[in-house]
């Protein structure tokens, strides 16, 4: 497929600073794209993500890195953007009927729309997003049918699309397990110690080790048979 | 059609404060919806729009009015968000091959995504948007096929959609001429003197009377055989 050939065309990569988006950036770089990283500061509780995104962008020496602020706390409705506690129970099942409270309404639609604007301005034909529909939290906007629908929309929505440029939404992790994602990233030289996954870090940005995102991450390293380089707050004995 | 029955369900209405979105709000109100207005401050040059949006929201006594800031000048690429002069030539043809420099990359995709998030949080099943594919500027994201593609996406993208709630994107002006839009609004009691269309207003917010948006507006009033209540800066003799 054209997308997976080595090339020097441009790609916008949505970069949160987490494990998945960092691996996605590594894949885009390895494919030879000039990468334009886009990080959205949407008022998430886990602000430590933004610091991680900056570290990751520098580590990979991206062509450009934009950080866009968008205050989704104005709407609320999620444990990540509202005054709702982040749950610490066991990992939820991957079922759309059990979408957890950490789901941010329409988040990936918003993120991809912003990436589409950025792509159109810099002339990028590909947008990379690290969504995953295997070891994930059951969010509707992580599924292949969502990605395909957005790609159809992108073609109709933009000057480039209307002029005949094929716009592609690339989701290289969508059918990988977390263990496979980690293995892919390690093969590409990712240093996972600079990434951040926790939804509820402590005041210095250490991961809680207990929220669903930490649980999924821990399980991934465990299944991959690799030491998790994450520093968790309970291991350091910090008390908030 | 269910959408056009009188009802008390909730609708999010994208409200810029211009002629089209104001008429769209009037239509949603007349249909009996509880209206949740959403205005996006995206760094547009024509900041007078925001003041108009506030006036219009109050005039129609909307249930709630959110103003979300999103700095699209970070990307640039449009005369409305970048250091590019707003053109004052004659109105462009309605052809996708002649998309003007005032096109803001992916704007309606972004606006609808944000409206989708708001709709999901307040439990609204309908999103109203005042796009128009007749007397317009040839923007790709004003066409019926774009609106239909977004509706398909919305159904896949959200918790509500996945749970079976039908989400509808309602574009009641899409096939009306500007004159018909104005006539519709007047029949519903719209006071167009409080709306704002100009892309390049003067320092006190008066319309320039020359940009494409002013031209389309003037022509609309003219064809409808109605006096344009807009105050244009050249008529008042102001010099910038």
ipTM reported for the complex, 2 dp:
0.84
Closest by Cβ to B113, choosing from A74, A106, A158: A106
Predicted pLDDT at A111: 95
Task: Please indicate whether, in this complex, the C-beta atoms of A116 and B105 are within 8 angstroms of each other.
Answer: yes
Pick the closest to residue B18 from B40, B3, B43, B36 (CA basis).
B40
- How far does the CA of residue B7 sit from the closest CA of chain A (Å)? 24
Residue in chain B lying closest to A75 (CA): B118
pLDDT digits (tens, 9 = 90+) for B149-202: 999 999 999 888 888 888 999 999 999 999 999 999 999 999 999 998 888 888
Predicted pLDDT at A133: 85
Predicted pLDDT at B93: 44
Predicted pLDDT at A78: 64
What does pLDDT average to over chain B? 84
* pTM score of the predicted model: 0.85
Task: Please indicate whether, in this complex, the C-beta atoms of A157 and B145 are within 8 angstroms of each other.
Answer: no
Most confident by average pLDDT, A67-76, A159-168, B110-119: B110-119
Fold designation for B2-193: Rossmann fold (3.40.50)
pLDDT digits (tens, 9 = 90+) for A47-59: 788 899 999 999 9
Q: Taking a C-beta distance cutoff of 8 angstroms, is the pair A73, A81 a contact?
A: yes
- How far does the CA of residue B40 sit from the closest CA of chain A (Å)? 11
Closest by Cβ to B116, choosing from A71, A109, A163: A109
Q: Please state the rounded mean pLDDT for residues B29-50.
A: 87
In the block, tokens 């022509």 appear at B219
Class of domain A2-230: alpha beta
- Is the pLDDT assigned to residue A178 strictly greater than 50? yes
Burial (CB < 10 A; 0-12, 13-18, 19+), residue A93, is exposed
Sign of the CA dihedral with A142 first, then A41, B148, and B154 last = positive
Q: Taking a C-beta distance cutoff of 8 angstroms, is the pair B104, B16 a contact?
A: no
Residue in chain A lying closest to B113 (CA): A110
Q: Taking a C-beta distance cutoff of 8 angstroms, is the pair A78, A86 a contact?
A: no
Task: Please indicate whether, in this complex, the C-beta atoms of A153 and B149 are within 8 angstroms of each other.
Answer: yes
DSSP string, B205-224: --B-S-SHHHHHHHHHHHHH
SS3 B229: coil
pLDDT digits (tens, 9 = 90+) for A124-154: 999 999 998 886 667 888 899 999 999 999 9
* A94 band by pLDDT with thresholds 50, 70 and 90: very low
Predicted pLDDT at A46: 60
Predicted pLDDT at A103: 67
SS3 B137: coil
Q: Where does chain A show beta strands of DSSP type E?
A: 10-14, 34-41, 64-69, 126-128, 168-170
Q: Please state the rounded mean pLDDT for residues A171-184.
A: 95
More confident residue, B55 or B84: B55
What does pLDDT average to over chain A? 84
Q: Which residues are A126's β-sheet partners?
A: A11, A168
Neighbours of A120 (CB within 10 A): 25
Residue in chain B lying closest to A152 (CA): B149
Task: Please indicate whether, in this complex, the C-beta atoms of B106 and A117 are within 8 angstroms of each other.
Answer: yes
CB pairs under 8 A between A and B: 146
Predicted pLDDT at B88: 61
Residue in chain B lying closest to A97 (CA): B163
Among the residue ranges A82-91, B179-188, B219-228, the one predicted with the least confidence is A82-91
Closest by Cβ to A109, choosing from B104, B153, B162: B153
């Amino acid at each position: 497929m054209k997308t997976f050939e080595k090339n020097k065309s441009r790609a916008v990569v949505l970069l949160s600073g987490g494990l998945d988006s960092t691996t996605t950036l590594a894949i885009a770089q390895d494919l030879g794209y000039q990468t334009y990283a886009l990080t959205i500061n949407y008022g998430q509780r886990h602000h430590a993500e933004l610091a991680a995104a900056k570290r990751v962008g520098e580590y990979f020496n991206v062509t450009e890195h934009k950080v866009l602020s968008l205050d989704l706390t104005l709407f609320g409705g999620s444990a990540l953007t509202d005054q709702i506690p982040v749950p610490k129970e066991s990992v939820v099942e991957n079922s759309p009927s059990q979408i957890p409270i950490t789901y941010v309404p329409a988040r990936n639609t918003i993120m991809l729309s912003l990436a589409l604007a950025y792509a159109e301005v810099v002339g990028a034909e590909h947008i990379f997003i690290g969504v995953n529909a295997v070891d994930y939290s059951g969010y509707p906007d992580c599924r292949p049918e969502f990605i395909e629908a957005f790609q159809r929309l992108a073609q109709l929505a933009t000057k480039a699309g209307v002029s005949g440029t094929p716009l592609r939404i690339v989701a290289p992790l969508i059918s990988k397990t977390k263990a496979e994602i980690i293995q892919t990233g390690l093969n590409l030289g990712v240093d996972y110690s600079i990434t951040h996954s926790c939804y509820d870090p402590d005041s210095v940005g250490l991961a809680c080790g207990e929220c669903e995102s930490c649980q999924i991450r821990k399980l991934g390293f465990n299944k991959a048979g690799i030491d998790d380089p994450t520093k968790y707050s309970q291991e350091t004995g910090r008390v908030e």
